[in-house]
């Protein structure tokens, strides 16, 4: 018999891990939200949810209908529970304060409601990424501010993602390894299907958008050139390349069989540190990757050590199999 998500979380409490009842309930609420999003995503054209919304998000990116729907599902499902002091989303300009009609909690929830938006209309795997932080202790007695969310990724108390693919999966860490739950759609329950997930330290697989190669910084060009040189090159082995254009799908593949994912700064917009958002994407994914024995850097610095200065801060991301990440870092020295 597979354990349910609730059973797993209760067992973690009984084993003495610092998992409060509020955090347990919050994780269960997020999981229910992801189940609702999965249901809507699965309807596709039948539910009229494909295509663009006709608006842009705070980053100036065109929003898909499902971006907005997913964002609203997460807000509405979690604002009233009493577990949260506030929320922040990649799709919203600023933080979302819990309405005064609801009790306030001691956690902060940050999320990318639907990662991989460009894949929505072509039925390729997409997902929801989430990160949970503790709110400052005095936040219950004052107005919540954006500064309260600007905590280093190492301060996360839990993180994970839902993957909407051939199976609907929930990957989770509460700081004691990474586990995977599969949604049993017959009964609507998340069931534990993998524990203690570990990323192989060595790999022969990289994921990067090769169409941007002419814009890359020299160290990235050199690294990929050496990988492509195969057994006759300095790396002495043949590499395979993968690119799904969905961070959830890329990270999930790495968690299952190893690899390295690169989304570095490039010269197209030199004033931006990268494409991916630190708070909604890089931090939660880096937490998962490290908990599974991998590594995650912004080229040389550990991503979880970065002190955020802005809610929608961008960052270069290189993550995956530990030894390969260390190899890439040497190209930047």
CATH code of the domain covering residue 273: 3.40.190.80
Residues 31-53 have a mean pLDDT of: 92
Is pLDDT larger for residue 222 or for residue 46? 222
Closest CA to 9 of 156, 179, 256, 133: 179
Percent of the chain whose pLDDT exceeds 70: 99
Buried b (16+ CB within 10 A) or exposed e, 260-274: bbbbbbbeeeeeebb
Q: For residue 241, what is the DSSP state?
A: E
Provide the number of structural domains found in the chain: 2
- Give yes or no for residue 37 having a pLDDT over 70: yes
Binding residues for Mg(2+): 90, 112, 114-115, 281
Domain identity same for 155 and 27: yes
In a domain, 200, yes or no: no
- Domain with 83, as residue range(s), is 5-194
Alpha-helical (H) ranges within 15-122 are 21-43, 65-78
Predicted pLDDT at 57: 75
Q: What is the largest CA-CA distance in the chain?
A: 66
The binding site for substrate consists of 115-118, 209, 275
> Are 189 and 316 found together in one domain?
no
CATH classification at residue 12: 3.30.540.10
Q: Which of 194, 216, 244 is the last residue of a domain?
A: 194
Strands 52-56 and 62-64: antiparallel
128-165 confidence digits (pLDDT tens)? 999 999 999 988 788 999 999 999 999 999 999 999 99
Phi, psi of 174 (to 5 degrees): -115, 25
The two tokens of residue 68 are 């907005």
| 32 and 161 inside one domain | yes
Reported as a single tens digit per residue, the pLDDT across 300-320 is 999 999 999 999 999 999 999
Q: For the segment 196-243, what is each residue's pLDDT rounded down to a tens digit?
A: 999 999 999 999 999 999 999 999 999 999 999 999 999 999 999 999
State pTM to two decimals: 0.96
Binding-site residue set: 90, 112, 114-118, 209, 275, 281
> 153 with 18, same domain?
yes
């Amino acid at each position: 018999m597979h354990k349910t998500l609730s059973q797993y979380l209760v067992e973690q409490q009984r084993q003495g891990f610092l998992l409060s009842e509020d955090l347990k309930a919050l994780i269960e609420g997020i999981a229910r939200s992801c189940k609702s999003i999965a249901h809507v995503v699965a309807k596709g054209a039948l539910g009229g949810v494909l295509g663009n919304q006709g608006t842009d998000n705070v980053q100036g990116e065109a929003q898909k209908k499902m971006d907005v729907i997913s964002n609203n599902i997460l807000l509405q499902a979690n604002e009233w529970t009493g577990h949260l002091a506030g929320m922040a989303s990649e799709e919203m300009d600023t933080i979302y304060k819990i309405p005064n009609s609801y009790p306030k909690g001691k956690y902060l929830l940050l999320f990318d409601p639907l990662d991989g938006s460009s894949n929505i209309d072509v039925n390729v795997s997409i997902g929801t990424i989430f990160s949970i932080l503790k709110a400052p202790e005095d936040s219950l007695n004052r107005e919540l501010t954006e500064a309260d969310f600007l905590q280093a990724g190492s301060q996360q108390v839990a993180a994970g993602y839902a993957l909407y693919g051939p199976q609907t999966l929930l990957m989770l860490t509460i700081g004691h390894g990474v586990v995977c739950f599969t949604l049993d759609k017959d009964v609507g329950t998340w069931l534990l299907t993998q524990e203690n997930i570990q990323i192989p330290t060595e790999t022969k697989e990289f994921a990067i958008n090769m169409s941007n190669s002419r814009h890359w910084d020299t160290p990235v060009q050199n690294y990929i050139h050496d990988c492509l040189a195969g057994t006759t090159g300095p790396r002495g082995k043949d590499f395979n390349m993968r690119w799904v254009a969905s961070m959830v799908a890329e990270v999930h593949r790495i968690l299952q069989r190893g690899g390295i994912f690169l989304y570095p700064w490039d010269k197209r917009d030199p004033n931006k540190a990268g494409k991916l958002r630190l708070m909604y994407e890089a931090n939660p994914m880096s937490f998962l990757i490290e908990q599974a024995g991998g590594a995650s850097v912004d080229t040389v610095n550990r991503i979880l050590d970065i002190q955020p200065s802005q809610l929608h801060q961008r960052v270069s991301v290189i993550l995956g199999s530990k030894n390969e990440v260390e190899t890439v870092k040497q190209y930047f020295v």
